[in-house]
Amino acid sequence: MAEPELVAECIASMQNAVSIPVTVKHRIGIDDMDDYEGLHKFVKTLAGAGCNTFIIHARKAWLKGLSPKENREVPPLQYDKVIQIKRDFPHLEIIINGGIKTLEQCETLLDDVDGVMLGREIYSNPYLLAEVDHRLYGIEAAPPSREQIMRQFMAYCEEQMARGIRLNYMTRHILGLYQGMLGARALRRAISEQAHKKNAGIEVLN
């Protein structure tokens, strides 16, 4: 972000090399560069190089002094700066990211931006996605149950294991499916203890 012109050159080169859209995911600033003017210049410069979609994590990154893990928690989120970018660049697709945990938050934010990206919350609580079609897209069909999802996932695992993929490469993404429900911890423990074994099969999930 400190060198928007260089990033713009990279974007232009990528755009010339591929036929698919090239998007940019970035923070609202870095280190002591946290004024809105710097963010505005960054987006404007990259848009001039042909980038039309920006996924903006609404938190500044401290490149010196904080670990990557700490950079996911501090400094504070500033959704207002991302919303202002959308107002200043209405022709661009602006997607907001950072600290979003509920579909209620998504609905509120979608009043001001084009899209919402959820990261860690989906990883720890993937069943949150089951309501997205109904809540955000107006689809009337009832969301699938956790059991339906698990059975579909098991069918997928069997297909992949037949191709030589290890079970634990897949099960780590389903550990949070039953988050908040009775027995969820026992399920996570059973999968974590068994799925990594060399000959682990679908019986682990059964």
pLDDT band (50, 70, 90) for residue 74: low
Whether 114 and 151 map to the same domain: the answer is no
Q: Tell me the per-residue pLDDT of 171-189, one tens digit each, with 9 for 90 and over.
A: 988 999 999 999 999 999 9
Domain total for the chain? 2
The CATH number that applies at residue 91 is 3.20.20.70
Q: How far is Cα 118 from Cα 112, in angstroms, rounded to an integer?
A: 16
Is there a domain that residue 124 lies in? no
Q: Which domain holds residue 185?
A: 146-204
Domain with 171 in it: what CATH number?
1.20.120
Query: Percentages helix, strand, coil for the chain, rounded to the nearest 5?
Result: 50, 10, 40
CB 87 within 8 A of CB 113: no
Tell me how far apart the alpha carbons of residues 167 and 199 are, in angstroms, rounded to a whole number. Answer: 9
Look up residue 194 and give its two tokens. Answer: 């068994």
Residue 71 confidence (pLDDT) = 62
Same-domain pairing of 106 and 8: yes
pLDDT-wise least confident of 10-24, 52-66, 102-116? 52-66
53 and 93 fall within a common domain? yes
Residues 57 and 93 in one domain: yes
Is residue 135 situated within a structural domain?
A: no
Which of 118, 136, 166 lies at the terminal end of a domain, its last residue?
118
Top-confidence residue, 71 or 59:
59
Residues 50, 97: one domain?
A: yes
Q: H or E stretch including 15?
A: helix 4-17
Tell me, rounded to whole angstroms, the distance of Cα 12 from its chain centroid. Answer: 25
Q: State the pLDDT at residue 166.
A: 94
* pLDDT over threshold 80, residue 62: yes
- Does 43 lie in the same domain as 104? yes
The string of pLDDT tens digits covering residues 87-137 is: 999 999 999 999 999 999 999 999 999 999 999 899 889 999 999 999 999
Q: Could you tell me if residue 81 is inside a domain?
A: yes
CA angle in degrees (0–180, nearest 5) for 25-31-33: 80
pTM: 0.86
pLDDT band at 72 (very low <50, low <70, confident <90, very high): low
- With respect to residue 128, please indicate whether it lies within any of the assigned structural domains: no
Residue 32: is its pLDDT beyond 90? Answer: no
Same domain for 48 and 11: yes
Q: Is residue 169 part of a domain?
A: yes
Mean of the pLDDT values across residues 144-159? 96
Q: Are residues 82 and 175 in the same domain?
A: no
Tell me the average pLDDT across 36-44. 97
Q: How far is CA 110 from CA 31, 44, 79, 94, 126, in A?
A: 28, 22, 12, 10, 20
